Amino acid sequence: MNPELQGRTLPPTDPYLVGREKVREFAHAVLATNDIHLDVDAARAAGHADLVAPTTFPVVVQEKTLAQLLAEPDAGIDFSRVVHGNQRFTYTRAVVAGDELTAQLTVSSIKTLGPHSMVTADTVITDASGDHVVTAISTLVVRGDE
């Protein structure tokens, strides 16, 4: 794992349009049964513009940025040795169907623990106006030789 990745910011992703059916599919997959994830009228009655994505939905958008990181030529990350260590989100507002989201990853931390490495990446996700929606923070563990 290349320690010089720390602090690197990758290019923003192409915009991701959040669709109603994708929100519903994700809600079903994670067993999120609140009507605001499934019924437009319920979401609007709760004060939202459209269906509200479950709180872990941003991983769908973040995935493209993590793929960019793994593809960095000098990263030194062997994907076959990667284990997902941690996931967190810090929200400014909920993700709703109709949002057009762009994501940009910055490597915030790299730590070495014996033969293993841990890389933490902050993916800032903004809407079409450039306003912050959520930051998805992932820690990946790259297993070293035992």
The domains found in the chain, sorted by start residue, are 3-18+55-142 (3.10.129.10)
- pTM comes to 0.93
Instruction: Report the share of the chain in percent with pLDDT over 90.
Output: 82
Q: What is the pLDDT of residue 146?
A: 65
Phi then psi dihedrals of residue 78, to 5 deg: -90, 105
Determine phi and psi for 117, rounding to 5 degrees.
-125, 150
Mean pLDDT of the chain: 95
Alpha helix stretches (DSSP H) within the chain? 20-29, 40-45, 58-71
What are the pLDDT digits (tens) for 53-73? 999 999 999 999 999 999 998
